[in-house]
Homo-oligomer: A and B are copies of this chain.
């Protein structure tokens, strides 16, 4: 169960209905592929299950950056309480120290490497892949390596020539919108997690929005898109295990909505916080600082732990006995409530996402929910939510700097 409640004034339906219509047509046009991912993943799951069925491995090393890894890490961290079939390590930065640390801690024969790059030409990913090949010098790439990439990419061609297994991402699904595609599903199957439930959660969110016509998400998007002062959106997640989801949200939001149209610049800045610990750091700025933020809280109702603060009274510290006998997860959720109340009293725009527990289905729901929210704000801004022209220039400069070095 995932439930969103808004604590700010809703707009009249007449103000938002044209956006609902445009989101509908965008979804139905088939041009933006992520909308349909919940309906098309079963085949990939079957393919992955067949592939991993007879394999023996202790470790999975995912080599991928940006959209190829940030969602997988969100799943891995959120589902930490689940039993997994192997240990997943992620190489998402071109860092020799980290490369050495990971290669020293795994046995090649018991490791599956997933090389994940949508374009197939991400220089960091391919360079790390080369370093792995150079380090282990495998005679047969098809044994320990699988590839996730676009149909027809150069990386796919390389994989095919080496008879290695390739999983494709649909061409019209952008990297940061791809977590319900092979990008997320294949690592989940490899870990023994319930990838089908992830898709079902996404499908549920889709149905709530498009079939049940629940207008909560659209109201929230409209509030964000039209807010005069609040250009920063805080996601305040009250559970350590949601740190990865925060990071995934930050990249989705930042890269999708930071756009220019002619000379006009758009953009909402995302920030991910973890409660209650960030109450001891960032909260002061939200409470007393410039009024430029909205805050979205996430609360996990069942946190897979019955651990209580014991009924112990310590000499001189009995002032704090008010927490005795209470479940730690209940305290963290009460802290969420307390902070929410304080912000609402200050007139800050707040909403609450309640999640019954951290499982595959709810995660799938949350992924789809934030993707839809992003699309909705993008439509309201009138920008292209799905490209990233601003990061290409840095890539070109990098190449020219490296070539200059070599002269």
Contact = CB atoms under 8 A, between A and B. Distances in A.
Interface of A: 65-67, 70, 80-81, 92-101, 120-124, 126-127, 130-131, 133-134, 154-155, 157-158, 161, 175-176, 231-232, 239-241, 250-251, 254-255, 257-260, 265-267, 269, 271, 274, 276-293, 303-310, 312, 314-317, 319-320, 322-324, 326-332, 334-335, 337-339, 341-342, 388-391, 393-395, 397-399, 401-403, 405-406
Contacts of A406: 322, 326
Contacts of A322: 123, 399, 402-403, 406
Contacts of A287: 258, 390-391, 393-394
7 contacts: A80-B101, A130-B312, A131-B309, A158-B316, A254-B285, A280-B391, A335-B394
Contact of A338 (B65, B283, B398): B398
Contacts of A319: 121, 154
A281 B96 contact: no
A308 B95 CA distance: 10
B269 A285 contact: yes
Contacts of A134: 310, 312
Contacts of A320: 121, 123, 126-127
Q: Is the interface of A mostly helix, strand, loop or mixed?
A: helix
B342 A393 contact: yes
Q: Which 4 A-B pairs have the closest CB atoms?
A: A267-B289, A96-B307, A258-B285, A66-B280
Given A231-B290, A323-B123, A342-B397, A331 B402 contact: yes
Contact of A314 (B126, B274, B308, B389): B126
A78 to B, nearest CB: 12
Contacts of A390: 283-284, 286-288
Nearest to A286: B258
A334 to B, nearest CB: 5
B292 A231 contact: yes
Contact of A391 (B81, B98, B283, B308): B283
A388 B81 CA distance: 35
A305 B154 contact: no
